[in-house]
Amino acid sequence: MAGEGGNEAGGSASYISHHLQNLQFCNKDGEWVWNDCAGNFWAVNVDSIFWAVFLGLIFLVSFRAVAKRSSADKPSRWQAVVEMIVEFVDVSVKETFHGKNKLIAPLALTIFVWVFLMNLMDLVPVDWIPLASYMVGIEYMKVVPTTDVNITFAMSISVFLLIIFYSLKHKGLGGFIAELTLHPIAPPLKGPGIIAAPFIIAFNFILESVALLAKPLSLSLRLFGNMFAGELIFILIALIGLFQLPLHFGWAVFHILVITLQAFIFMMLTIVYLSLASEKH
Amino acid sequence: MDINIGTLLGQTIAMIFFVWFCMKYIWPHILNAIEERQTKIADGLAAADRGQQKLEQAQAEAEDIVAEARKQATGILDQAHARANEIVADGKAEGVKERERQLAAAKAEIEQETNRAREELRGQVSAIAVASAEKILNREIDPAAHDDILGKLAQEL
């Protein structure tokens, strides 16, 4: 595909856009159709969901195997690997999040491993899986779920909802509203300056709301942007013919750092946001 | 790259399920194993420390016991030497005594034997004297008359 696409500009453009097209499934005019979903708000990116769930299940099954047979005495090699990851996440959580919470550590572990696995699909040569699925009649196949903005947004919105939930739980509704309105400029509550208070509160509210909303937005767009750009570069490298091999190798080596780092950042920021949400002032 | 609700919802549900599963069935088990091992290692190290201390104590005790035993052994050896010397000395004295006893017995026997022989000899000599005297004096001396004189003679010999 790389060879035939590289010859002409139109070919390479269609090659790239073909690679960036999700396999979609939606209901169009009362009929369920594949890949005719442009602008359809209710469509499902089947390939993203499939790979995300598939990789998530790999995570669950492989870690569950350890959890079921975990013994303190004679850890198997795989158990040692899993425990290393678990302990790494546990330390990260404990360093940042003080207080008791049963959800945050497993959430961080799931996010870290899952995002890492989804990013890892980027290292599979870009044509292998799409070509194989093309041969069995599936026209589009985007194998890296984190290059789909829906996937990253779904995760960051879940985190965002947890932020709201923990803010309300630990600070109460009043505390949460106070946090949104009384910072960063404390409005004067006495004297003639009280006239200015509503404006200051409005100003604070706008500022804090933007800051709050920027959290999920930056969380998802950072991951999406990194992975999308990486994927795009892999696709571009695939276009240049035979010389792609050393370039592919170089970019893949660099990308190993990126995928691990992005998984770690997503996990770490989740922990930080949630610990900020459950802190009392 | 369009936002679509289907994917968002699907991924959110998947994430909720995965996090729930991880929280329920993965995280606690693995962390328990890790913590259990940590306490075990800490206990093991403490036990090793205690063992080391006990070993040192035992070694000190053993050294004391060995020193004591050595002292006792030296004492016993000295005693044994003394006793052996005593026995040897005793034996020597006994030997000397025995030898003297044997010597005395032998001497007595020899004396007895000598006396007996002398007695016998005396008898024989007196018999020979009497016989020779008899022969000499056969004619003139009456043995019955002079027997007392001969007896006195034999006694003086």
Residues of B in contact with A223 (CB under 8 A): none
Cβ-defined contact of B34 to A87 (cutoff 8 Å): yes
- Is B38 in contact with A75 (CB distance < 8 Å)? no
- Residues B128-140: what's their mean pLDDT? 74
**Partner-chain contact A154 B8, CB within 8 Å:** yes
Taking the C-alpha atoms of residue B132 and residue B83, their distance in angstroms, rounded to an integer, is 70
User: Tokens representing A6?
Assistant: 């590289």
- Here the ipTM equals 0.86
CA A48 to chain centre: 12
Using an 8 Å Cβ cutoff, are A89 and A108 in contact? yes
Give this prediction's pTM: 0.74
pLDDT of residue A163: 93
Q: What is the mean pLDDT of residues B31-38?
A: 89
Put simply, the answer to whether B34 touches A60 (Cβ < 8 Å) is no
| Cβ-Cβ contacts under 8 Å, B6 against chain A | 25-26, 42-45
Q: What is the pLDDT of residues A31-81, one digit of tens each?
A: 788 877 777 788 888 889 999 999 999 999 999 998 888 777 788 888 889
Write the CA distances from A265 to A89, A217, A273, B6, B143, integer angstroms.
12, 14, 12, 26, 164
Q: Is A238 exposed, middle or buried (0-12, 13-18, 19+ CB in 10 A)?
A: buried
| CB A266 within 8 Å of CB A111 | yes
A208 CB neighbour count, 10 Å cutoff = 16
Q: Which candidate in A70, A117, A161 is best for mutational testing of the B interface (most B CBs within 10 A)?
A: A70
pLDDT of residue A179: 86
Identify the weakest region by mean pLDDT among A139-148, A211-220, B116-125.
B116-125
Provide the chain A residues 70-99 that lie in CB contact (below 8 A) with chain B. 70-73, 75, 79, 82-83, 86-87, 90
pLDDT digit string, tens, across residues B53-85: 999 999 999 999 999 999 999 999 999 999 999
Residue A4 confidence (pLDDT)? 41
Model pLDDT, residue A1: 38
CA trace torsion A94, A100, A103, A106 (10° rounding): 30
Computed over every residue of chain A, the mean pLDDT equals: 87
Measured CA to CA in angstroms, residue A152 lies from A58, A75, A115, B11 at distances of: 19, 35, 9, 9
The lowest-confidence range among A21-30, A215-224, B3-12, B25-34 is: A21-30
How many alpha carbons fall within 13 Å on the CB side of residue A66?
A: 28
Minimal CA–CA distance to B150: which of B140, B119, B116, B134?
B134
Of A60, A63, A151, the CB nearest to B7: A151
Measuring CA to CA, which residue among B92, B146, B157, B147 is closest to residue B123? Answer: B157
Q: Which of B7, B8, B23, B38 to mutate to test the interface with A (most CBs of A within 10 A)?
A: B7
Whether the pLDDT of residue A2 is over 80: the answer is no
Amino acid at A29: D
State whether B4 and A38 contact (CB < 8 Å).
Answer: no
Report residue A115 as tokens. Answer: 């995002």
Please tell me which residue in A22, A167, A226, A275 is annotated as part of the active site: A226
Spans of all domains in chain A: 48-278
Residue A3 banded pLDDT, cuts 50, 70, 90:
very low
Q: What local confidence, expressed as pLDDT, does residue B72 receive?
A: 95
Closest CA to A131 of A121, A123, A141: A141
Sort out which chain A residues have CB atoms less than 8 A from B22's CB and list them. Answer: 60, 63, 106-107, 109-110
- Residue A273 is predicted with a pLDDT of 93
In this model, does residue B141 exceed pLDDT 70? Answer: no
Q: Is A98 helix (H, G, I), strand (E, B) or coil?
A: coil
Distance from chain centroid for Cα A157: 10
Question: Considering CB atoms only, which of B3, B23, B40 is closest to A102?
Answer: B23
User: How high is the pLDDT of residue B22?
Assistant: 93
Give chain B's mean pLDDT. 88
pLDDT in tens, B81-118: 999 999 999 999 999 999 999 999 999 999 988 888 88
pLDDT at B143 (0 to 100)? 62
Instruction: Residue B31: list chain A partners with CB under 8 A.
Output: 86, 90, 105
Between A3 and B149, the more confident residue is B149
pLDDT of A217 higher than 90? yes
Contact B7 A37 (CB under 8 A): no
pLDDT range class, residue A132, cuts 50, 70, 90: confident
Output the pLDDT for position A6.
39
The predicted pLDDT at position A252 comes to 92
Q: Is A226 a residue of the active site?
A: yes
Q: Taking residues A134-163, report their average pLDDT.
A: 90
Domain ranges of chain B: 5-156
Which token pair is B75? 């004492």
SS3 A34: strand
pLDDT for B139 equals 65
pLDDT band (50, 70, 90) for residue A228: very high
Instruction: Tell which A residues from 115 to 174 touch B, by Cβ distance under 8 Å.
Output: 145, 148-151, 153-155, 157-158
- What is the CB neighbour count within 10 angstroms for residue B63? 10
CB pairs under 8 A between A and B: 135
Name residue A149's amino acid: V
Distance of CA B15 to the CA centre of its chain: 86
Cis preceding-peptide flag for A184 (omega within 30 of 0): yes
